[in-house]
Amino acid sequence: MTHRKRTAPKWPVLCMTAGLAWSLSAAAQVQDITPTGSTPDLLTATPAAAPTVAITGAAAPMVGDIDLGQSMGGSQVGQPASEAVVVGVARKAAQEAEQAKGAAVTSKKAKKGSAVPSYREGVERAVFARMPVRVGLPVSRERLITLPSPAVLHVPGDIEAVARVESIDRTIYVTALVPFAPIRIVAELIDGGQQIPLDLVANTQTAAASQELEVFIERARGADTASEASAAADEAPAADMVELTRFASRMLYAPRRLAVGQPGVSQVQVSNRPVIGLVRGALVETVPMGQWRSAGLYVTAVRITNQSKQPLEIPLDNLRGKWLAVTAQHGRLGAAGSEADTSVLYLVCDRAFDACL
């Protein structure tokens, strides 16, 4: 009987040997990629700026300081690169918007500064040499016109519908009530009778014309100087009540070529509102038309219109006021609506019209 020694099976040893051989083979295929020697230029040890690489959703965002716009430089260290790019664009857009806003404000200010102001300082000058002087007027704002000397104004009868015109000494005060096409008035200088036509106009082009307008007369060579004319006027004697009344009548009824000024007589402002009860007991309308002064005497021309259907003898003794003299252009008025229903009264007083009522 043969006895055989029983041994352990060899397949575990073979398996272990095969595993070890595979491990050595895999280890032989692994290469070390650790840089040797000096570090290349592109891989410096100093940390560079964060690359603009978007972080995937799987990566957790890094926590760091939040840029609120204090710095205008690149992204902060420790901040995600994508967030840094977005904040930079937002800052740039904000800057562009701010610059655009500033440019708009600057443009608006420049435009505002270049516009013509409503009230401009200074005096506009015009020389009258036969051609009418154009006077632009802003609506609802008074403009002053200064003449070489006191003058009498000749204006259309219905001028009050579009403009308020008043004259005191050398100055004409004109206020356009509504826009209107050119209207001609004539200023007749009292000293010498020189007539200056003025074309008044109010429209959108004249809205900024607020300067005072000073009118000069073109003097011919060898003519007397203004100082000599003024001296001659000062030496003129004062007019009495009769001369003053005749002067007022001539200003209203005489042809324009004869309605010349008189040395020593000047025009005075007077209200053109109707005066109620000036003629006691009579159904009439009385409206002041003009007032002139010479030394200590005043004469006021008052238009009187009969409003009754019967003719009227003007009762000069029934006038209200303290008058030195009263004269009627026509003593009898026709019935209302007739051609003779209107006349003029000339009232002389030692004070202005309103003070003598």
Check residue 255 and give its pLDDT. Answer: 80
Q: Enumerate residues 6+ apart whose C-beta is below 8 A from 243.
A: 262, 294
Contact between 93 and 73 (Cβ < 8 Å): no
* pLDDT digit string, tens, across residues 70-128: 444 444 444 444 444 444 544 444 455 446 545 545 544 444 444 333 444 568 889 99
Tell me what the mean pLDDT of segment 218-241 comes to. Answer: 62
Average pLDDT over the chain, rounded to an integer? 74
- Name the E strands within 237-283: 266-268
H/E stretch holding 285: strand 284-294
The residue with greater pLDDT, 211 or 14, is 211
Report pTM.
0.42
Closest CA to 332 of 354, 310, 301: 310
The residue with greater pLDDT, 247 or 13, is 247
Contact between 120 and 208 (Cβ < 8 Å): yes
Pairing assessment for the beta strands 325-328 and 342-349 based on DSSP bridges: antiparallel
In total, the chain counts a number of residues equal to: 357
Closest CA to 160 of 216, 113, 200: 200
H/E stretch holding 244: helix 241-253
What's the rounded Cα separation, in Å, for the pair 200 and 206? 10
Q: What is the number of alpha carbons within 13 Å of residue 45 lying toward its C-beta?
A: 3
What's the rounded Cα separation, in Å, for the pair 218 and 230? 17
Nearest 5°: phi and psi at 40?
Answer: -60, 165
pLDDT band at 3 (very low <50, low <70, confident <90, very high): low
309 pLDDT higher than 80: yes
Closest CA to 210 of 182, 174, 185: 174
Q: Enumerate domains of the chain plus CATH numbers.
A: 121-219 (2.60.40), 238-357 (no CATH)
- Name the E strands within 53-211: 123-128, 133-136, 142-146, 151-154, 163-168, 171-176, 180-189, 195-202
